[in-house]
Amino acid sequence: MWIGWLEFDVLLGDVRSLKEKRSVIRPVVAELRRKFSVSAAETGSQELYRRAGIGVAVVSGERAHVVDVLDAAERLVAAHPEFELLSVQRSLRRSDD
């Protein structure tokens, strides 16, 4: 079994409150879940209204499938015009590691 995850650090544009921040981040998290059947959530900088951390995780029996899903998820997040992708951390592990 292969387990892969991404941690995104994003900077939001013209956002002035935590409520506005949630209205930008929630649809992205929902889209990741729907399109790629992954676990996704806002995972960092929850008290800051212009920064956000988004975590994505996927499990599969095939390494190639995990890599493909993570690549596609990264492209989706990077393509969103509402925010700037500052960094992405990726990890891939086999269950017996």
CB 6 within 8 Å of CB 68: no
- Return the CATH number of 2-94, one of 3.20.20.70, 3.30.470.20, 3.30.70.1120, 3.40.50.10490: 3.30.70.1120
For the chain, the structural domain boundaries read 2-94
CA dihedral for 58, 60, 63, 65, sign (positive or negative): negative
Query: 2-61 pLDDT, tens per residue?
Result: 999 999 999 998 888 988 999 999 999 999 999 999 999 999 877 788 999 999 999 999
* pTM given for the model: 0.88
Q: Which helix (H) or strand (E) holds 75?
A: helix 63-78
The three-class DSSP label of residue 61 is coil
20: closest CA among 12, 10, 28?
Answer: 12
